[in-house]
Amino acid sequence: MFEDRLAQRMQGVQTSPVRELLKLAQRPDIISFAGGLPDPELIDTEGLAEATAYATGEQARHAWQYGTTEGFMPLREQIVRLMATRGASVTPAELLVTTGSQQGIDLIGRVMLDPGDVVVVERPTYLAALQVFGLYQARVEGIEGDAEGMRTDLLEAFLERERPKMIYLITNFSNPTGATLSLERRRHLLELAARHGVMVIEDDPYGELVFDAQASLPPLWALADEVPGAKPWTVYLSSLSKIVAPGLRVAWMALPEWLYGKVTIAKQATDLHTSTLSQATAAHYLASDRLHARLPHMRATYREKAGVLMSALRSRLGGAITFEEPRGGMFVWARFAGGVDASVLAPRAIASGVMFLPGHSFFAGEPDHARVRLSYSLPDRAGIEEGVRRLASVMD
Amino acid sequence: MFEDRLAQRMQGVQTSPVRELLKLAQRPDIISFAGGLPDPELIDTEGLAEATAYATGEQARHAWQYGTTEGFMPLREQIVRLMATRGASVTPAELLVTTGSQQGIDLIGRVMLDPGDVVVVERPTYLAALQVFGLYQARVEGIEGDAEGMRTDLLEAFLERERPKMIYLITNFSNPTGATLSLERRRHLLELAARHGVMVIEDDPYGELVFDAQASLPPLWALADEVPGAKPWTVYLSSLSKIVAPGLRVAWMALPEWLYGKVTIAKQATDLHTSTLSQATAAHYLASDRLHARLPHMRATYREKAGVLMSALRSRLGGAITFEEPRGGMFVWARFAGGVDASVLAPRAIASGVMFLPGHSFFAGEPDHARVRLSYSLPDRAGIEEGVRRLASVMD
């Protein structure tokens, strides 16, 4: 029976705990620190409804019909503008619109990975990326990180010994750690990529959600222009999911020329193209400049909510939990003291009406069972405080 | 260099000629018989704009946020209703919403296929399905068809010799042939699937576009209830692309229970979920019953346009081209007489302002170079006549 081979292929590939918890999070009585869902108050429903009305009115001819696999050109032109505000120069011909950044990760895996290939990730890293690399039967190696992101000195030592096919990392306010790769390490990473001939897949969904806009760092895609030989090895992924609306499923990849056609063919086989309704809506929304007008408020809101969460954790849980302060993004990466296992605590917390994500799923290799990812993005301020109160009651 | 292995994997996988031609089809002076694009006049822009307004108004909370991988529940409930009109009983728990049917084919390939596995298709068949099976390095075997679809007697003989993992076919108004699998062969196919333990992937994007609604046949998914042991081997794919709007990228799969979770995990890794904006729009549109009110006009329009194309071919090309009369769908599958090679003719036709799809890409194995697929769905009646006039001038 082919059930055996099927079982072998799906081995170790489980449904994401985030996705499973999201289902529970729909229970109205649960306060959820689990998902990375944007604050509903920050979604510009008015501006998006207007953009959709435009897409289905003046742009109806495009919005309802088949489009090109590469993406709706007016949207790619808007992404060029958005990338320029991040300090990155890109042309529409280098951009491929994807159905969420998840698809970008998957397409790269599909085109590049053979079973047994080595993929380097931060340790810990985004669990759905681990899931994709697992599906392609890659061997995933985690390089430890700290508050400045992946330890590129450890990466350098690793590259002396092994020949990975790619390095995947979230450069800004990483999921789950919240850490940002420092400028010095960005340059070092690019030098290593160029020297060893290793792809660097930079995933950047959270970069705009920087608490202090002065602290933004240029993407690897931009810095690669200054590092000889680095550009052909860099791929940049970003998304509208965290800053506009995840329901659009609109994201993009910037790709070196040698890879662009191959990834486009893979996308064609996967879903022909991303929803033109979503793409035309996103194009009009970006053209309206409402996003950039709203970003300061978005950043201030998440900064404030992060503060509410950290204050509540300190006052209610005290020494029972430790964490680094995030400087952007959506997550506090914390650690329970006293040998508490987060995955044992999680179902009891749910029974008490609060949900978080046990940290173990984010580790390639040996996990730290005391780790927990707490997202402050979805609940409101009162909800954050009540959620921590419930968490404290479970821990008593 | 891993370029070598990359080249090996992408070998034989080319960008679809349909997708490449679609780009050319955007030239306003070209009359295109190439794509399977719905007639823009048949897209209910008013009803869809209304549905989108509802989705981004009352349903905004859902439309802009993350959703479950399985699909937006109100949409799955509407698909249950739609499937009932096709004589098929299905529950929301058996339905997975996909980003176009292309994704359904890809997910099945991803979950089921190992390199070297045998996949049986009609000969000829949908070229993007061939592309997907090629990407998974399957060995594709074509079984000849006729006006009643795949020759199940030949399939039976094949199954005595070989052990394919799946059979893929378009049961109604197949792409490219326009043929429909007869009721007798449907039953025979299901008996063979049950006896030999082979998956049957039924792709049904065109079934509603039957010229004579009385002639509709039940899907394999429904007939499998009457064939002992067949149900766990059947998968049904359908889509809103041909009957509502391709730009939504909303399609669905009905799956047996043992496969549902595995395909859902694969979809999760691929794009998390389909655009909730598109799903909420589709749900409201289907609930409005505008689709069923419009289907008779849609069928009549395509029937009439098929007639215009066939009359023009007969009067202008006479014996230079032969074809079967379609009874639904979007395609006339024709054959040039006198040793004309369609792929040699195609660029000359484009130079004269008319485009069609050479048939060779639709064949697993040895192609018939005289074949051509002509779609009457996109151009209007005058365009169809003018297109055939241009084609005749090229052939002179």
Q: Taking phi first (over 0 means left), then psi (-120 to 50 degrees means alpha), and beta for anything else, what does residue B173 get?
A: left
Is A238:A173 a contact under the CB 8 Å cutoff?
no
What Cα–Cα distance (Å) separates residue A25 from each residue in A289, A337, B207, B259?
Answer: 32, 26, 38, 26
Question: Please, which pLDDT band fits residue B14 given cuts at 50, 70 and 90?
Answer: low
Q: Which two tokens stand for residue B151?
A: 């020759």
- A357 and A211: one domain? no
CB A237 within 8 A of CB A101: yes
Condensed to tens digits (0 to 9), the pLDDT of residues B67-106 reads 999 999 999 999 999 999 999 999 999 999 999 999 999 9
User: Is there a contact between B380 and B331 (Cβ–Cβ < 8 Å)?
Assistant: no
Q: Per the CB < 8 Å rule, is A270 touching B102?
A: yes
Rounded to whole angstroms, how far apart are CA atoms A327 and A322?
Answer: 16
In chain A, what is the greatest distance between 2 CA atoms, to the nearest angstrom?
Answer: 61
Interface test with chain B among A5, A10, A14, A19, by most B beta carbons within 10 Å = A19
Decide if A229 touches B, using CB distance below 8 A: no
- Of B88, B83, B128, B90, nearest to B109 (Cα)? B128
| pLDDT, position B364 | 87
Q: Is the domain of A250 the same as that of A212?
A: yes
* A312/A215 same-domain check: no
Distance CA(B283)–CA(B294), nearest Å, equals: 17
Measure A24 CA to nearest chain B CA, in Å. Answer: 11
Contact check, Cβ <8 Å, A64/B248: yes
* Shared-domain flag, residues A154 and A40: no
Indicate which CATH number applies to the domain containing B198. 3.40.640.10
- DSSP structural state of residue A190: H
pLDDT digits (tens, 9 = 90+) for B253-263: 999 999 999 99
A22 close contact with B: CB closer than 8 A: yes
Residue B289's alpha-carbon distances to A293, B15, B53, B357, in angstroms, are 40, 37, 17, 35
CATH of the domain at A15: 3.90.1150.10
Identify whether residues B92 and B198 lie together within a single domain.
yes
In 3D space, the residue among B3, B5, B12 whose CA is nearest the CA of residue A232 turns out to be B3
Judge: B248–A275 Cβ closer than 8 Å, yes or no. Answer: yes
Q: Helical H runs in chain B?
A: 3-10, 17-25, 45-56, 60-63, 73-85, 101-112, 127-135, 152-161, 183-196, 220-223, 257-271, 276-287, 290-317, 342-351, 381-395
Q: What is the ipTM of this complex?
A: 0.94
Contacts of A93 (CB under 8 A, 6+ apart): A260
Instruction: Let me know whether B149 and B126 are in one domain.
Output: yes
Select from B234, B254, B288 the last residue of a domain: B288
Cβ–Cβ contact B270 with A under 8 A: yes
Inter-chain residue contact A57 with B49, CB threshold 8 Å: yes
In this complex, is the C-beta atom of A24 within 8 Å of any C-beta atom belonging to chain B?
no
Residues A151 and A210 in one domain: yes
A76 with A196, same domain: the answer is yes
Question: Are the beta carbons of A271 and B106 separated by less than 8 Å?
Answer: yes
Question: Does B42 score more than 90 pLDDT?
Answer: yes
Of B288, B313, B345, the residue that ends a domain is: B288
CB contacts of A278 in chain B (<8 Å) are 275, 277-278
DSSP letter at A205? S
Contact between A145 and A120 under an 8 Å Cβ cutoff? The reply is no
Residue A155, exposed/middle/buried by CB under 10 A (0-12, 13-18, 19+)? buried
B-chain residues near A64 (CB < 8 A) = 43, 45, 48, 245-248
pLDDT (tens digit per residue) in B230-245: 999 999 999 999 999 9
Dump pLDDT digits (tens) for B112-129: 999 999 999 999 999 999
**Using CB atoms and an 8 Å cut-off, which of residues 230-269 of chain B contact chain A?**
241, 245-249, 261-262, 264-266, 268-269
pLDDT of A307 reads: 98
In terms of CA atoms, which chain B residue is nearest residue A134?
Answer: B269
Low-confidence ranges of chain A (pLDDT < 50): 1-2, 12
Computed over every residue of chain B, the mean pLDDT equals: 94
User: Given pLDDT bands bounded at 50, 70 and 90, which one contains residue B21?
Assistant: low
Over range B326-349, report the average pLDDT. Answer: 94
Q: Quick check: B26 pLDDT over 70?
A: no
**pLDDT of B46 over the 90 cut:** yes
Question: What single letter denotes the amino acid at residue B102?
Answer: Q
Give me the domain span that covers residue A259: 45-288
Nearest CA to B45 among B206, B239, B207, B247? Answer: B247
Query: Which pLDDT band holds residue B341 (cuts at 50, 70, 90)?
Result: very high
CB B328 within 8 Å of CB B211? yes
Q: How far is A357 from chain B (nearest CA, A)?
A: 17
Residue of chain B minimizing CA distance to A100: B271
Residues B303 and B269 in one domain: no
pLDDT for residue B2 is more than 60: no
Asked whether residue B309 falls in the same domain as residue B353, the answer is yes
Same domain as B377, residue B345:
yes
Q: For position A364, what pLDDT does the model report?
A: 87
Distance from CA of B67 to the nearest CA of A (A): 7
Predicted pLDDT at B1: 41
Distance separating alpha carbons of residues B333 and B242, to the nearest angstrom? 18
CA B249 to chain A, closest CA, distance in angstroms equals: 5
Nearest chain A residue to B199, by CA:
A2
pLDDT score at A15? 60
Q: B246, A66: Cβ pair inside 8 Å?
A: yes
The Cα–Cα gap between A60 and B247 comes to 10
Report whether pLDDT(B270) > 80. yes
Q: How far is A302 from chain B (nearest CA, A)?
A: 17
- The last residue of a domain, from among A227, A253, A288: A288
Q: Which amino acid is at A233?
A: W
A&B contacts, CB < 8 Å? 226
Residue A277 and residue B135: Cβ atoms within 8 Å? Answer: no
Distance from CA of B317 to the nearest CA of A (A): 31
Within 8 A of B271 by CB-CB distance, chain A residues are 98-100, 102-103, 106, 249, 271
> Per-residue pLDDT for B386 more than 80?
yes
- Which pLDDT band holds residue B35 (cuts at 50, 70, 90)? confident
- List CB contacts (< 8 A) between B265 and chain A: 10, 13-15
**CA distance linking residue B149 with residue A380, whole number of Å:** 58
Q: What is the rounded distance in angstroms from the CA atom of residue B336 to the CA atom of residue B359?
A: 11
Rounded distance between C-alpha atoms, residue B350 and residue B348, angstroms: 5
Task: Give the number of other Cβ atoms within 10 Å of residue B335's Cβ.
Answer: 16
The pLDDT, as a whole number, for residue A1 is: 41
Chain A partners of B131 at a C-beta cutoff of 8 Å?
A: 268-269
A248 and A300 share one domain: no
Q: Return the amino acid letter for B134.
A: G
Cβ separation B65–A43 shorter than 8 A: yes
pLDDT tens-place string over residues B159-184? 999 999 999 999 999 999 999 999 99
Position B138 pLDDT exceeds 90: yes
Determine the distance in angstroms separating the CA of A354 from the nearest CA of chain B, rounded to an integer.
Answer: 19
CA distance B292 to B281: 16
B106 CB within 8 Å of a chain A CB: yes
Mutate to test the interface with B, among A99, A130, A252 (most CBs of B within 10 A): A99
Please give the tally of structural domains in chain A: 2
- What residues in A contact B264, CB-CB < 8 Å? 15
Which B-chain residues 272-291 have CB contacts (< 8 A) with chain A?
A: 272-278, 280-281
